[in-house]
Amino acid sequence: MRSDLTFCILQFMTVSNLQQHITQPVTILDEQKCRQNIRRMKSRADENQAILRPHFKTHQSAEVGKWLREAGIHQGTVSSVSMAKYFVECGWEDLTIAFPINPREWPEVQDLASKASICITISSPHVLDFLVQNPPSHPLGVFIKIDVGTRRTGLRATAEKEIKEIITSLQNIEGYTFRGFLCHAGHAYQCRSQAEIQKVHDDVRAMMLGLRERFAQFEPFVISSGDTPTCSNALNWDGIDEMRAGNFVFYDLMQWQIGACSPSDIAVCLACPVVALHPERNSVIVYGGGIHLSKDRIVWDNKTIYGMPVHFEQGSLQWTMPDGESFVSRISQEHGELQVSDEFLKQTKVGDLIGILPVHSCMTADVMKSYLLSSGDTIEMMQRV
């Protein structure tokens, strides 16, 4: 837990010295960029006559949730029962737990259903016996997870017998309501062009609309599709009722590489103190490693990278754009090693504070557990129990 970091003093500081007392790695969040990303995604959903049910696993923050509400968003998605509990306590009344139902958490799920509208997710017919034998004490919606190509979990769209058995079994038990079909096109993260993103979306949409046609006798129900690459860029959402992107609130290098955003849309970076220079090999060593960034990596211009460094503007927590040449080449627990351009090296000295744009903002946010806004205010995230 990092809520006791020394940067807490920043709330008493003036705008002119926002960097001065940052002594340890901390995640900087640009509120203006984040709000802009939210508004843009809400507009895309509105234009496509779909409900935006954003995934909260990226930000895990009551304050960012407040920004979503202020943009007119009132439904959410979470990835765990504990996350659902956190956001219900923050006042959210309509949540989908888009993770396979865990029978060991059944009492907690039923407690949540007594306080808010909760939907659970079935990704395998093997959990059906448990649900049938344990009818809910409060109404629960049920989504069936469809594997549309990611091959992680979920039923295939062609598994008509199993799908029909799940729906009919739950319809015969008071308390359960079949809400529809849910999918996540995680394989869209392998795309590297607009055409590839559109192809994934078209294939997924065809599969999901095929389910609507084959199971029309169970209407009305919802078709819910979610991933940031397709929700950010893909065209033609006819027949899709919900868009469930999550990473879009922050974006990151992976989304930039995919083509879902531009570098100016990335709303978070990890602020890291510079602790050593090795000019003979254009290397900068920072206090900021795997326990801060996570060890997510991507191949960029035939190099494996763990992030891209940026400089902060004088006295502020606003950062410049990456130069396209400098990158995080290696990380260990606390160390980050940067391979930088001559110009970046010339502008950097030991004791400076630099930023690192993360490969995967969800993981970086999760390990850091709090944000420092570019205004100097701090935001806490939910804490795992």
Q: Along the 385 residues of the chain, how does pLDDT read in single tens digits?
A: 344 443 343 343 444 478 888 999 999 999 999 999 999 999 999 999 999 999 999 999 999 999 999 999 999 999 999 999 999 999 999 999 999 999 999 999 999 999 999 999 999 999 999 999 999 999 999 999 999 999 999 999 999 999 999 999 999 999 999 999 999 999 999 999 999 999 999 999 999 999 999 999 999 999 999 899 999 999 999 999 999 999 999 999 999 999 999 999 999 999 999 999 999 999 999 999 999 999 999 999 999 999 999 999 988 999 999 999 999 999 999 999 999 999 999 999 999 999 999 999 999 999 898 999 988 899 999 987 6
Q: What's the rounded Cα separation, in Å, for the pair 241 and 234? A: 15
Cβ atoms of residues 98 and 79 within 8 Å: yes
352: helix, coil or strand?
Answer: coil
- Domain covering 6-29+267-380: architecture: Beta Barrel (2.40)
Residue 111 DSSP class: H
What per-residue confidence (pLDDT) applies to 109? 98
Domain covering 32-250 in this structure, CATH number: 3.20.20.10
What per-residue confidence (pLDDT) applies to 383? 84
331, HSE (Cβ side, Cα atoms, 13 Å): 26
Give the residue extent of every domain in the chain. 6-29+267-380, 32-250
124: Cα separation from own chain's centroid = 24
Distances (CA, A) of 185 to 163, 244, 275, 341: 19, 11, 41, 36
Q: What's the rounded Cα separation, in Å, for the pair 365 and 380? A: 11
